[in-house]
Amino acid sequence: MSTPPVASEDVPYAGEMPMLGLGTWQNDDPDECAHAVETALEAGYRHIDTAQAYRNEESVGRGIAAADVPREDVFLATKVWIDNLAYDDVLATTEESLDRLGVDYVDLLYVHWPSRTYDPEGTFRALDELVDAGHVEHVGISNFEPEQVDEAIEQSSAPIFANQVELHPLLPQAELREHCADRDVEMVAYSPLARGEVFNVPELTEIAERHDASEAQVSLAWLREKGVTAIPKATSEEHILDNWGSLGVDLDADDVAAIDAIDRTDRRVDPDFAPW
């Protein structure tokens, strides 16, 4: 399998956000996580995603510090967990996140889920203060449905930059994508490979064989065609580089239509506190 090499400067952007990043969910081995981040940045990635709930912010920060890439060239995102969304807790735990990451600011700070201690007025008042103080460049939301997207836009003085949700060929989220596009909110896909299930979809395998690519690369290329930023989780150098190779895969209209027509829905993340 071979795809053309892609330089970091050739990565497409959504605003200031590189449209392919490294996800770090469940990457809780400290050294493995730090090495994965360093490997990804050295390979050309410029977008790293973590969260308070992943318990790996310190390791992510170590990886960023170890890589031969200036901090200002890295688009770094983290998320405030659902127990920390009261006004005072947003401020306090974000400061703790910055300390663990070893940075003065993050490029994107998400509300991880609209659940538990989430209070739209208080939560976004705190996020606005963090933006004004220079600790946060952009405000994001995650796992928000259309109605909650609108509420967030109404409550936040800072623009809502992105909504991060599960999104892949088996959960295309067409209605939510259209809703966010109409409101100038970028879409970011977590679990963009459906937790590995994309390798078991015949339509994706057929397209992958035609492009001399992997099913993962085809899925990531499809997301890019939809204007969606993807943050696949990877720990091994092999998977990190395979996902990076998706940037060299160009799908044609027939490929995209075939993926759009996959008659299967498979949501992989569905906690009992989810809003849907």
pLDDT tens-digit readout, 103-153:
999 999 999 999 999 999 999 999 999 999 999 999 999 999 999 999 999
pLDDT in tens, 61-114: 999 999 999 999 999 999 999 999 999 999 999 999 999 999 999 999 999 999
Nearest to 19 by CA among 239, 240, 269, 225: 225
Active site residues: 54
> Read out DSSP for 108-138?
EEEE--S-TT--HHHHHHHHHHHHHTTSEEE
**Exposure letters 189-199 (e unless 16+ CB within 10 A, then b):** bbbbbbeebbe
Count H helices, E strands: the chain?
10, 10
Strands 13-14 and 17-18 come out as antiparallel
Q: Quick one: angle between helices 174-182 and 146-155, nearest 10?
A: 20
Indicate yes or no: pTM above 0.75.
yes
The mean per-residue pLDDT over the stretch 194-201 comes to 97
In order of their start, the domains of the chain are 13-196+227-235 (3.20.20.100)
pLDDT classification of 9: cutoffs 50, 70, 90: confident
